A and B are shown apart, each in its own frame.
Chain A
Amino acid sequence: MDSWRAPLMIDVRQGVIGSPLLLVAFLMMNSGSPLFGQEALRMGEIRGKITITKSEDDIQKPPPVDRYSTHRLAPTSMSGAGMSSSAVKLSERAVIYLESQSSKAQNFQPPTAHPILDQRDLAFHPQVLPILVGTTVEFPNKDNLFHNVFSYSSPKEFDLGRYPTGESKSIRFDKAGIVRVYCDIHSHMNATILVLENPFFAIPDDGGAYVIKNVPNGTYIARLWFGRDLAASQSVSIKNGESVSVNFTY
């Protein structure tokens, strides 16, 4: 379980507020919004399954050989699991999130716990990290060598420099958008942070199943992000707190 989601979430696979007490408080704070009026108290949910048919290489696939390991220690993964061996997990590569015009006007409270983007086995884990705007992300180094995490993406440019095993640095993301993250030392390492305007997102399990709970009534665009790209989009409406099924095939 990702610890950063625990205080606010019932299900770590969903990005919406799950604690009933917090939910009531949250809705009271937003009671002036049509989206969160009396009707919205009946929350719906979006469930579905992602099917990936597209054959795609591991996007963090390391080069076949490190040619300069003839001069210095060859990079090895700390766990011995091998470079990005777990990177093909669907749960690390896919995110489903909702967009709507009405939710853009809302100020959602970011979680106090910090999501984690690991540097482990010479790869970023997960490869796609969805967060609510205003969230602070931790970047721990769990390899026994240096990494240098950086991004030149317009929502947040940063360069964390080099820090050793066991240390972590954090960055707060205050602007919504797509943040491409790289390692300056290991060019194959890359990840994407989706800085989202609302908390209605979910990470599927490795079988592709997902659920976004506590979605207010309204019309949304449901988007599937896979790997480094936006893979698919569908329009979806929630009425009367119903459960809606949205499946994606990519």
Chain B
Amino acid sequence: MNRILAVLILLVALCVQGQSQVQASGEASTYVLKTAQTTSPRATNNGNPTFGWRFDLFLDAKVTDKVFVLVDTRALPDEVINFDYVALRIVNLADLGFNFQMGKFDMPFGNLADRRFATKDFLYGLPLIYEYRTSLPDQVATRADVLGSRGKGVGMRLIDLGVYDIGAMVYGDAGKAHYAVAVANGTISSTYVRHLNDNSDFNKILRFAYTPIIGLTLGVSAAMSAYLSDEGKPLPRDQGSLHYQQLIGDVDVEFSRERFLFNGEAVYSKWTVPFENEDTDLSAFGYYAEAKYTWFPRFYTAARVSGLVFSRVQLEGISPRWDNNLVEIEAGVGYHLDRSTLVKLVRRETRTLEVIGPKDNLTVLQLAVAF
């Protein structure tokens, strides 16, 4: 309730300013889905069919020609309202040609951008690199802890959903190039529940994108930060939490022409992990490629292939992967009932490689409305 009041107060405060203009917009989506009955993190509601919904409210306020306030609130079933985005933006700061933003916002890493929202997402879910929770926690853990958590979805994601976190950023354009430099709390893999910094380090993020021709954008992103919380179990050796860093790099491509759209990302991350007897580097590689084609007005088909590949770790003479490799295919159709209302039918198949067991899948019918 306090958060709702805060949004309303903010809205009213901005509206009463003579020069400000506020645009309220949003998105609501509802769905009914059914997953396979597995214990995988890709299963929902133990495989029982279920309804769900999500609501996002966006408030964009222009305070002056150069100063903006941006707010996103998100609500899910049985959750409090979250603020994904509360930021102040100053464009063309001091007439230097670059822009400045501070607050909680989506980190400049990768090219997910507005495809995180149901009306812009060609399909239902996000790629594995954004959604799948690995077996590596952001707390001190033993080798057995990590290996015992494989396939359970209790650790960090590779890229934490929309990568919202609290920080500051400078960004701008130079011809066909775009750049962004940010520092923030948390890490790329662990932002979702953080409100304040968990250690004395800041996440350092760089992004550079180049658009050689209209419709094609190539991007690279990199970030590094200490990822362990100072509040967790004590470190096993005489090293501070700053020693245990996550290094992550990403390349992305966005291409569109006529009725065809394509997006892809490949990301590599390495964590230095304080296992009980030695520090060990664990790494993971993730990727996705997705395409959409509009066959005729209102109707499109889309498909995505995504995967995760984990490095191996030594344990008692064997070298298993520290989490199970995954490949996932998601495909579906979308139909625009009107300009702002989209209905999607999506099927997702997930294969956990090297593990014999139930196969994950998902079938979902989603209705999304932008307003």
Contact = CB atoms under 8 A, between A and B. Distances in A.
**Binding partners A and B:** yes
Interface of A: 63-65, 67-74, 144-146, 150-152, 157-159, 161-165, 180, 182, 187
Nearest to B101: A70
Contact of A71 (B62, B176, B207): B207
Contact of B178 (A72, A157, A187): A72
A162 B114 contact: no
A73 B217 contact: yes
Given A64-B23, A65-B68, A67-B60, A161 B176 contact: no
A165 B214 CA distance: 8
A180 to B, nearest CB: 8
Contacts of A64: 21-23, 60-62, 68
Interface in B249-300: 254, 256-260, 294, 296-298
B169 interface: yes
Contact of B259 (A63, A151, A159, A165): A159
B68 A163 contact: no
Contacts of A72: 111, 113, 178, 209, 211, 217, 219, 254
26 contacts: A63-B25, A65-B68, A65-B91, A67-B60, A68-B113, A70-B106, A70-B169, A70-B171, A71-B113, A71-B207, A72-B111, A72-B178, A72-B209, A73-B176, A73-B217, A145-B214, A146-B214, A150-B297, A152-B298, A152-B336, A159-B294, A161-B294, A162-B259, A163-B258, A165-B214, A182-B339
Contacts of B58: 67
A85 to B, nearest CB: 14
Contacts, number: 95
Given A152-B297, A161-B257, A182-B339, 17 more contacts: A63-B60, A70-B105, A70-B108, A70-B169, A71-B113, A72-B111, A72-B211, A72-B219, A73-B217, A144-B214, A157-B296, A159-B294, A162-B259, A163-B258, A164-B213, A164-B215, A165-B214
A133 to B, nearest CB: 20
Top 10 A-B pairs, shortest CB-CB distance: A64-B62, A161-B258, A161-B259, A157-B297, A159-B297, A68-B113, A65-B68, A164-B214, A71-B113, A73-B178
Residue of B214, B217, B256 most packed against chain A (CB within 10 A): B214
Contact of A151 (B23, B101, B297): B297
Contacts of B156: none
Contacts of A182: 339
Nearest to B20: A64
Contacts of B370: 187
Nearest to B295: A159
A87 B61 CA distance: 22
A186 to B, nearest CB: 12
B70 interface: yes
A142 to B, nearest CB: 12
A73 B218 CA distance: 11
B231 interface: no
Contacts of B217: 72-73
Contact of B258 (A71, A162, A187): A162
B297 A158 contact: yes
Interface in B99-120: 99, 101, 105-106, 108, 111, 113-114
Interface in B170-194: 171, 173, 176, 178, 180
A162 B215 contact: yes
B89 interface: yes
Interface in B71-113: 85, 89, 91, 99, 101, 105-106, 108, 111, 113
B214 A152 contact: no
Contacts of A65: 60, 62, 68, 70, 89, 91
Contacts of B178: 71-73
B110 to A, nearest CB: 8
A145 B213 CA distance: 9
Contacts of B256: 146, 162
A212 B336 CA distance: 39
Nearest to A76: B173
B336 A71 contact: no
B59 to A, nearest CB: 10
Interface in B219-261: 219, 254, 256-260
A146 B261 CA distance: 12
A113 B176 CA distance: 36
Contacts of B215: 146, 162, 164
A74 to B, nearest CB: 6
A71 to B, nearest CB: 5
B338 interface: yes
Residue of A63, A64, A157, A161 most packed against chain B (CB within 10 A): A64
Residue of A73, A165, A182 most packed against chain B (CB within 10 A): A73
Contacts of B296: 157, 159
Nearest to B254: A72
Contacts of A150: 297
A39 to B, nearest CB: 45
B103 to A, nearest CB: 12
A74 B99 CA distance: 11
Given A146-B256, A165-B214, A68 B294 contact: no
